[in-house]
Amino acid sequence: MSPKEVLELIEKKQIKVIDIRFMDFPGVWQHFTVPRGELNELSFEEGFGFDGSSIRGWQPINLSDMLVVPDADTARIDPFFKASTLVLIGNIVDPITLEPYSRDPRYITQKAETYLESTGIGDIAYFGPEAEFFIFDNIRFDSKSNAAFYEIDSVEGIWNSGRIEEPNLGYKPRHKEGYFPVPPMDKFQDLRTEMLLVLEDLGIDIECQHHEVATAGQAEIDMRFKPLLQMADQLMWFKYVLKNVAHKHGHTVTFMPKPLFEDNGTGMHTHVSIWKNGAPLFAGNKYAGVSQDALYAIGGILKHCNALCAFTNPTTNSYKRLVPGFEAPVNLAYSSSNRSAAIRIPMYSSSPKAKRIEFRTPDPSCNGYLAFSAILMAVLDGIQNKIDPGEPLDKNIYDLPPEELAEVESTPGSLEESLAALNEDREFLLKGEVFTQDAIDMWIEYKTEHEVNPIKLRPHPHEFFLYYDI
C-alpha cells in the first residue's frame, strides 16, 4: 500500500486518529496517537519525533531525540479502540543523520531479509511460529525487599476441583491432560474463536485454534506461515489481539514461558523454510524427505543454538521450561518424530512445498524481530559453511542408556549461560551488518542488569520452605 492509498483509506473509512506503533528493544509494542490531520504523504518520509531515552535499551538522555517513520504497508484498522483508529507500524530513524537506528528490532529484520537475497541462497524466508499462551482469570504478584509472591487462578485450574463455586461443576483438566477435550472441560472455546475471528478480520491467516496440554486454560492459535518481516509484524498483532480480547471478557493472557509449576510450559515452535524463484529449497531426497541444504540449515541452528537462546528464550523464566529430563526440546539434535529434540522435521505432508524445519526450543516471550532474524542467520551460516548436523536422534530420549545420553548436548540452563554463549558466538549474526556489535552488546548488558542480576539477588519464596529452619 502506498502513502496515497493509506490516505484514501482514511477518508473512505472515516478514520478519526492515527496510532503509530514500534517495538522497543526487549520486545513490547509502544505507541502514540496523532489526529487525522497530522498525517500526510510527507509523514511517510519525515516521520514523527519522540523521546528515545524513555525506551528501554535505547538512547541516553543527552541523545534522546528520535524519529519513527510509518510504513504504509502496515496499515490496519484497530479492532478495539472506541474512536476509529488506523494503526501504522514505524521504523526508527536518527533525526540528524536520517539513518535507520541500529537497535530498532524491525530494522534488524529488514536487514536479515536483504542479507538473505545477497547470499544468493534464496529470496524469501518463511516463518510459522506456534505461539502458545495461558488464559487466566486472575493474577496477583509482588516483589519487595521483605516479601515476594505470586498467585494465579483459573476456573479451569485442577487445584480448584474442591473449591466452593456455588456450584462447582467440575470438568477441570488434570495436569498435562488439556490436549484437547471438548467442552465443558474446555471452557475457552468461544473466547479462542473470537480471538481467531478478530485476527482474520485484520487479514492474518489462521490455521486452527485449540486447547493445549496444561490445565488452567493453556491454548494455541496457529498463524499460517508468512515472510520474515510480515510474520514478525503479525506476531505483535497476535499478542495484542489475544490480550485485548481476553481483557474484554474479564480474563488475562500471558505468554510467560513457565507460569505454572508441575505442568507444561509455553513454547513457540517455529517453522522455517527458504525459497528461491518460487521453489522450496528444503525439499529433497535426504533424511525425512529434506534436501542437503535443509540438513546444513539444521546444522547451523544446532551449532549456534546456545547463542540463539539469548534471543529465542530471552527471559530467566524461559529456563524453567527448558529443563533436561522433561518434555521440553532441550536436546541439541534433530528428528522426524522425537519431540524432545531441538529440531523436528514435520511429516504431516509429503508435498515438497510443505517441507520445512521446526525449531522447537523458542518460546513466545521473545522479541520476534530479533529471534526470527537470528534463526535465519544461523540457517544461512549452516548452508554457507556446510555444517553437518550429525545423525538424527530417533530413539526415545528417556530410554537411552546413560553413556548415550551423555553424548547428547543440551540447551543452556539459564539466561546467564545463553548470554555468555551469545557473547562468545556472535560472528554469524554480524554478517551483512544484520546485527551490530552495539546492538548485541546492549542486549547482553540490558538483560544482565535488568533481569539476570535482579533475579539472582532476590530470595526465592521456596528457599524459605527449604532453609528457614536451618
The answer to whether 67 and 74 have CB atoms below 8 angstroms apart is no
Based on the residue annotation, tell me whether 166 is a catalytic residue of this protein: no
Based on the residue annotation, tell me whether 360 is a catalytic residue of this protein: yes
Based on the residue annotation, tell me whether 151 is a catalytic residue of this protein: no
- Using omega within 30 degrees of 0 as the cis cutoff, is the peptide bond preceding 167 cis? yes
The answer to whether 198 and 245 have CB atoms below 8 angstroms apart is yes
Residue type for 249, please? Answer: H
Beta strands in 303-395 (DSSP E): 331-335, 341-344, 357-359
Q: Which of 78, 130, 263, 381 is catalytic?
A: 130
Q: Which of 71, 113, 156, 220 is catalytic?
A: 220
Q: Which of 5, 8, 38, 51 is catalytic?
A: 51
Q: Which of 211, 269, 321, 426 is catalytic?
A: 269
Backbone φ, ψ for residue 45 (5° rounding): -115, -40
Based on the residue annotation, tell me whether 104 is a catalytic residue of this protein: no
Based on the residue annotation, tell me whether 358 is a catalytic residue of this protein: yes
Residues listed for the chain: 470
Task: Report in angstroms the alpha-carbon separations of 152 from 43, 164, 169.
Answer: 44, 17, 20
Based on the residue annotation, tell me whether 409 is a catalytic residue of this protein: no
Nearest to 270 by CA among 422, 374, 388, 421: 374
Rg of the chain over CA atoms, in angstroms? 23
Q: Which of 21, 211, 344, 360 is catalytic?
A: 360
Q: Which of 113, 358, 416, 451 is catalytic?
A: 358
Q: Which of 212, 222, 233, 293 is catalytic?
A: 212
Based on the residue annotation, tell me whether 220 is a catalytic residue of this protein: yes
d(CA 144, CA 351): 55
d(CA 108, CA 369): 7
The answer to whether 91 and 100 have CB atoms below 8 angstroms apart is yes
d(CA 365, CA 400): 31
Nearest to 241 by CA among 191, 208, 198: 198
Q: Which are the catalytic amino acids?
A: 51, 130, 132, 212, 220, 269, 339, 358, 360
